[in-house]
Amino acid sequence: MVGTAAMFLVGGGILVHGVPALQHAIEGGISTVPSLAQVLLSPLANGLVGVIAGGIVAAAVTLFHRLRREPALT
């Protein structure tokens, strides 16, 4: 479970840093809180982006398999 959470954090961080507008939006939102909370919120925001992206990919793969009438990977 820890490895999965780490992958969401890393993947989300890659996505956030790859989309400058998203990175600036997150940094702008986080900059309004105290500095100690910023240390925690930045990785949590990256993780949230990773979970959302993972959900979108999982939904797309499931839909693709259903359209091809193949059993979805579990």
The per-residue pLDDT for range 21-31, each reduced to its tens digit, is 999 999 898 98
The per-residue pLDDT for range 27-43, each reduced to its tens digit, is 898 988 888 888 899 99
- Rounded-to-integer distance, Cα 72 and Cα 31, Å: 42
Amino acid at 69: R
pLDDT range class, residue 6, cuts 50, 70, 90: very high
pLDDT range class, residue 60, cuts 50, 70, 90: very high
Q: Cα separations (Å) of 73 from 30, 45, 51, 60, 67?
A: 37, 28, 18, 12, 14
Full-model pTM: 0.79
